[in-house]
């Protein structure tokens, strides 16, 4: 059982406030039909999954009923089987129903990202490769989804356009060369990590000579990729620059790419191609 640091509480609260505002609008006219009495509910997972999203689920329900009791039977990051009761709740019936959809939306989306990430992480087990995410996230939920990637065993790439410099073909073209682009980036942002995309073995050698924090060998074929690994490993271990692969990665190609010896494999599908985990929240006690 592991613990994972979620985004700051104010980020979770902001996400939840937006979700409840768009769902409730001027008021939940349907839950108003229910008696405003205390009731029980339970959260059911209908398929195998890695569970993620408890902070958002809890915040949704506590925003509408500060006194709701939520008793979790699983921890964040647990792998569960279909049919598992994840939690039981006791609170005001109207509030339980009003918070249902928003709380489930967070749980099913973040559990989907964590579950997908765990599949990719397992597929490269035994190699040196780490699974990274990208910026291809659901608008407004980047910190939540990147947290879910960590829960699934993956590693976060840069959070946005502000916390790392990433040089691509446009920057190289504007600067005139890999070397000039790296030097300009170092001069302007000396304290930020620097990632450089290269398109050839010649550019790889140039980036290795000039130095950076990671080199992205995007769209290299298998032969070029192996050459790139061999060349990168010619440096002493303490000077070695990690190699990242992105593009053309799926479950059929993933293991081979990892076994070629690259350090990182970034996959947009962890956050972009998510299929929500099937969850439901039902009033009443859980089945025996």
Residue-wise pLDDT tens digits, 26-44: 999 999 999 999 999 999 9
Q: Is residue 79 within a helix (H) or strand (E), and if so which, with residue range? A: strand 79-80
* Residues 6+ away with beta carbon under 8 Å from 123: 251, 254, 255, 258
The three-class DSSP label of residue 171 is helix
Considering 197, 206, 244, 263, which one is annotated as catalytic?
Answer: 197
Considering 218, 227, 259, 278, which one is annotated as catalytic?
Answer: 218
Considering 62, 73, 135, 168, which one is annotated as catalytic?
Answer: 168
pLDDT at 1: 38
- Look up residue 281 and give its two tokens: 């929240």
Q: Is residue 245 within a helix (H) or strand (E), and if so which, with residue range? A: strand 243-246
The three-class DSSP label of residue 118 is helix
Q: Pick from 58, 124, 132: which is nearest to 96 by CA?
A: 58
- Could you confirm whether 197 is annotated as catalytic? yes
Rounded to the nearest angstrom, the gap between the alpha carbon of residue 110 and the centroid of all alpha carbons in its chain is 8
pLDDT at 221: 93
- Could you confirm whether 168 is annotated as catalytic? yes
Q: How confident is the model at residue 3 (pLDDT cuts 50, 70, 90)?
A: low
Q: How confident is the model at residue 16 (pLDDT cuts 50, 70, 90)?
A: very high
What's the pLDDT tens digit per position in 61-90? 999 999 999 999 999 999 999 999 999 999
Considering 62, 73, 101, 135, which one is annotated as catalytic?
Answer: 101
- Could you confirm whether 58 is annotated as catalytic? no
User: What predicted TM-score, i.e. pTM, was given to this entire model?
Assistant: 0.95
- Could you confirm whether 218 is annotated as catalytic? yes
φ and ψ at 214, to 5 degrees?
Answer: -160, 150
Indicate the burial class of 173 (C-beta count within 10 angstroms; 0-12, 13-18, 19 or more). exposed
Helix 93-123 and helix 9-24: axis angle, to 10°? 120
Considering 62, 73, 136, 255, which one is annotated as catalytic?
Answer: 136
Structural domains in the chain plus CATH codes: 9-121+274-283 (3.90.1170.20), 127-272 (3.20.20.70)
| pLDDT reading at 258 higher than 80 | yes
Q: Pick from 46, 140, 121, 35: which is nearest to 86 by CA?
A: 46
What's the pLDDT tens digit per position in 151-194? 999 999 999 999 999 999 999 999 999 999 999 999 999 999 99
pLDDT at 248: 80
- Could you confirm whether 136 is annotated as catalytic? yes
């Amino acid at each position: 059982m592991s613990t994972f640091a979620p985004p700051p509480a104010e980020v979770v609260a902001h996400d939840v406030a937006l979700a409840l505002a768009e769902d409730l609008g001027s008021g939940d006219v349907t839950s108003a039909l229910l008696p405003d009495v205390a009731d029980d509910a339970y959260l059911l997972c209908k398929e195998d999954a890695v569970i993620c999203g408890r902070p958002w689920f809890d915040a949704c329900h506590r925003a509408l009923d500060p006194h709701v009791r939520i008793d979790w039977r699983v921890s964040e990051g647990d792998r569960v089987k279909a049919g598992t009761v994840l939690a039981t709740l006791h609170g005001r019936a109207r509030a339980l129903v009003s918070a249902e959809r928003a709380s489930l939306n967070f749980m099913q989306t973040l559990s989907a990202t964590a579950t997908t990430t765990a599949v990719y992480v397992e597929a490269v087990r035994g190699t040196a490769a780490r699974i990274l995410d990208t910026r291809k996230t659901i608008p407004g939920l980047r910190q939540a989804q990147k947290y879910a990637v960590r829960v699934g065993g993956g590693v976060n790439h840069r959070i946005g356009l502000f916390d790392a410099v990433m040089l691509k073909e446009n920057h190289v073209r504007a600067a005139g060369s890999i070397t000039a682009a790296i030097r300009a980036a170092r001069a302007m942002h000396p304290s930020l990590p620097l990632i450089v995309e290269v398109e050839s073995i010649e550019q790889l050698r140039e980036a290795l000579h000039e130095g950076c924090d990671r080199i992205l060998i995007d769209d290299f074929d298998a032969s070029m990729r192996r050459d790139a690994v061999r060349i990168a490993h010619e440096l002493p271990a303490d000077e070695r620059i990690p190699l990242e692969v992105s593009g053309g990665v799926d479950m059929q190609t993933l293991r081979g790419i990892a076994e070629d010896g690259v350090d990182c494999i970034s996959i947009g599908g962890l956050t972009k191609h998510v299929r929500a985990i099937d969850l439901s929240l039902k009033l009443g006690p859980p089945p025996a």
